[in-house]
């Protein structure tokens, strides 16, 4: 794994194993803020205020999406339970070098970001009194979900690197773990991915993508399922 700098100055990681970057070369922070925070978290909260917000992330990776969610919700009243699956965690020398806290003017929360990476696997870790993180060291295919989620951040490597993670069966598994009205967001806009999400039962829309990408996908689990 190699640390790289993207166009907005924020770090990403290049995986030699998958020959893929963890984030967009056009800007790691810009991409995550647009795809997962603006189009996912904030979109859901416009019309929903659950007492306990449950988020699932496919691919904890650099921890950027979890950190942005933590910062976004830090002063809110909601309690957040954030679950992420990661089969290939970063080494300490990599995650301690990431510059997200500095660029987000959140240096006082740098220790919280590091704690996200250091906390024990497979059980909830309290990053704050209102934000609990559970990292599952597993593959998505073998993961047993024990709760229902309001939001899914789907941030797997691209279809070209891990095609098995973009199939209908995977999306059907996630569909069954989500609350009615829950949303799934992903940076992908591939036609086959959209069709696979629809086949799994989601209502899918193409929306504006992050910098460097024209479109992305947002999928919603209907409030009522067809009979």
In terms of phi and psi (left: phi > 0; alpha: psi -120 to 50; beta: otherwise), the region of 95 is alpha
Could you give the CA distance from residue 23 to residue 90 in angstroms, rounded to a whole number?
14
For the record, the structure tokens of 201 come out as 């039962």
First and final C-alpha spacing in the chain: 48
- Does domain 28-220 fall under CATH 3.40.50.150? My reply is yes
DSSP-assigned letter for residue 3: E
- β-pairing, 215-220 vs 178-186, is antiparallel
Q: What is the pLDDT of residue 102?
A: 98
DSSP string, 11-79: EEEEETTTTEESS-TT-HHHHHIIIIIIIIIIHHHTT---SEEEEEEE--TTSHHHHHHHHHHTTSS-E
pLDDT category at 17 given cuts 50, 70, 90 is confident
Q: What is the mean pLDDT of the chain?
A: 95
Kind and range of the H or E run holding 95: helix 92-95
pLDDT of 227 above 70: no
pLDDT tens digits, 27-36: 999 999 999 9
Q: What is the pLDDT of residue 24?
A: 94
Q: Quick one: average pLDDT of 18-32?
A: 94
Could you give the CA distance from residue 182 to residue 198 in angstroms, rounded to a whole number?
14
pLDDT tens digits, 94-131: 999 999 999 999 999 999 999 999 999 999 999 999 99
Q: What is the pLDDT of residue 1?
A: 86
Helices 168-176 and 191-199 meet at what angle, rounded to 10?
50
pLDDT tens digits, 56-99: 999 999 999 999 999 999 999 899 999 999 999 999 999 999 99
Chain mean position to CA 7: 21
Domain positions in the chain: 28-220
């Amino acid at each position: 794994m190699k640390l790289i700098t993207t166009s907005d100055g924020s770090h990403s990681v290049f995986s030699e194993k998958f020959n893929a970057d963890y984030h967009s070369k056009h800007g790691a922070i810009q991409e995550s803020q647009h795809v997962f925070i603006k189009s996912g978290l904030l979109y859901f909260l416009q019309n929903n205020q659950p007492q306990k917000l449950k988020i699932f992330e496919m691919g904890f990776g650099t921890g950027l999406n979890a950190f942005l969610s933590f910062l976004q919700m830090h002063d809110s009243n909601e309690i957040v339970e954030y679950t992420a699956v990661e089969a290939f965690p970063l080494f300490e020398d990599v995650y301690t070098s990431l510059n997200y806290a500095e660029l987000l003017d959140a240096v006082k929360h740098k220790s919280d970001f590091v704690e996200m990476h250091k906390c024990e696997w497979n059980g909830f870790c309290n990053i704050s009194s209102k934000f609990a993180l559970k990292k599952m060291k597993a593959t998505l295919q073998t993961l047993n979900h024990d709760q229902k989620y309001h939001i899914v951040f789907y941030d797997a490597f691209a279809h070209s690197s891990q095609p098995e993670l973009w199939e209908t069966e995977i999306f059907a598994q996630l569909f069954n773990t989500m609350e009615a009205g829950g949303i799934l967001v992903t940076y992908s806009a591939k036609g086959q991915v959209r069709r696979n999400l629809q086949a799994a039962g989601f209502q899918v829309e193409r929306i504006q993508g992050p910098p460097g990408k024209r479109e992305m996908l947002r999928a919603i689990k209907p409030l009522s399922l067809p009979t």
